[in-house]
């Protein structure tokens, strides 16, 4: 994830490099939790798993549309001002600003957690040239993770690691990183821990006590189009079919090659002989990444199915 350390890294130190006239940051959160089962509860046979945030429409579009409305309403009330909307697309330390604004604390799993809402919400920031001097700035809430280590204990790849008195997420071990951001092969020693995840991972949030009674969204944009898709069906997608199926979904970020790589790993981890034929077809793929992961998966099935 070079974008975290390249020329954009310095911009994160001062949001005025994004909007020189900025005087205030308004932080917002939008709930996306749905009523469907958690990844640790789902038992749909022959299925992969898509992270909850990607079940519906692309959140970038949904959240940005709402923030455009917010900006227009502020201009109606306060008159003209300069503004910039940021929705996970600008070099801005979103969680840090959200914490300072009082939206939640940063948990051991590195997610922002709100005592009432849990952690199932997207973040957005509105940089404005208005000084909000009449309102006392919000304050960060106390850390309420306490001695709980459920997220750390549940992570299959042990990606949440201690850093002194705090914890950080080691992307080199994170299932979400492997299945979304990584361009290239998933380290072989990490593949068993990926399980049936084909895009993202929710385990550390699924086990968090603050999410056990988290409210659900009423926004139809986040209604699930796919959360436990059939792996055989996914393995047969053409590149055009992949683009069509996920054209309005964050799943596009994995790219076609990376997505088939993830599907192959999930099949290999299943221990199910039903996937032998699809994997044999994928092992003949002209894409060397897909072929290599499918060949690995076939070896796993051969061992587990005693073929």
Catalytic residue ranges: 88
Backbone φ and ψ for 273, nearest 5 degrees, come out as -65, -15
Q: Within a domain: residue 132? A: yes
Beta strands in the chain (DSSP E): 24-31, 49-50, 83-86, 105-106, 112-113, 121-128, 160-163, 166-169, 197-199
29 touches 59 (CB < 8 A): no
Beta strands in 32-82 (DSSP E): 49-50
Q: Within a domain: residue 276? A: no
Q: Domains in the chain: how many in total?
A: 1
Residues 6+ apart with CB under 8 A from 122: 29, 30, 32, 53, 59, 63, 87, 88
297 touches 279 (CB < 8 A): yes
CA torsion sign for 55, 244, 295, 174 is negative
Q: Within a domain: residue 266? A: no
Q: Within a domain: residue 80? A: yes
d(CA 187, CA 25): 40
d(CA 124, CA 27): 6
Which range of residues forms the domain containing residue 153? 2-229
CA torsion sign for 205, 59, 104, 10 is positive
Task: Read off the pTM.
Answer: 0.91
Q: Within a domain: residue 176? A: yes
Tens of pLDDT along the chain (307 residues)?
Answer: 565 566 566 666 788 888 999 999 999 999 999 987 888 777 777 899 999 999 999 999 999 999 999 999 999 999 999 999 999 877 788 999 999 999 999 999 999 999 999 999 999 999 999 988 767 777 899 999 999 999 999 999 999 998 877 899 999 999 999 999 999 999 999 999 999 999 999 999 999 999 999 999 999 999 888 778 999 999 999 999 999 999 999 999 999 999 999 999 999 999 999 999 999 999 999 999 999 999 999 999 987 765 5
Number of DSSP helices (H) and strands (E) in the chain, helices first: 11, 9
Q: Within a domain: residue 251? A: no
């Amino acid at each position: 994830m070079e974008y975290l350390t390249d020329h954009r890294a310095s911009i994160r130190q001062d949001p005025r490099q994004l909007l020189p006239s900025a005087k205030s940051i308004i932080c917002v959160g939008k709930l996306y939790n749905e009523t469907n089962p958690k990844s640790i509860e789902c038992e749909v046979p022959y299925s992969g798993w898509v992270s909850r945030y990607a079940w519906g429409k692309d959140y970038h579009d949904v959240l940005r549309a709402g923030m455009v409305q917010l900006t227009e309403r502020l201009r109606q009330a306060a008159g003209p001002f300069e503004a910039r909307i940021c929705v996970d697309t600008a070099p801005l330390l979103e969680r840090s600003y959200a914490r300072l604004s009082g939206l939640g604390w940063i948990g051991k799993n590195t997610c922002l957690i709100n005592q009432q809402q849990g952690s199932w919400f997207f973040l957005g920031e509105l940089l404005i040239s208005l000084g909000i001097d009449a309102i006392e700035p919000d304050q960060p809430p106390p850390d309420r993770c306490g001695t709980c280590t459920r997220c750390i204990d549940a992570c299959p790849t042990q990606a949440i690691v201690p850093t002194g008195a705090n914890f950080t997420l080691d992307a080199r071990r994170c299932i979400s990183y492997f299945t979304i951001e990584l361009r290239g092969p998933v380290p072989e020693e990490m593949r068993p821990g990926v399980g049936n995840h084909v895009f993202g991972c929710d385990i550390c949030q699924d086990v968090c006590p603050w999410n056990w009674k988290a409210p659900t969204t009423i926004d139809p944009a986040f209604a699930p189009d796919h959360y436990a898709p059939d792996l055989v069906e996914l393995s047969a997608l053409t590149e055009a079919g992949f683009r069509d199926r996920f054209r309005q979904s964050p799943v596009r970020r994995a790219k076609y090659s990376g997505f088939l790589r993830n599907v192959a790993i999930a099949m290999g981890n299943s221990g199910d002989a039903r996937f032998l034929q699809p994997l044999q077809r994928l092992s003949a793929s002209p894409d060397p990444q897909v072929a290599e992961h499918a060949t690995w998966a076939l070896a796993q099935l051969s061992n587990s199915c005693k073929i």
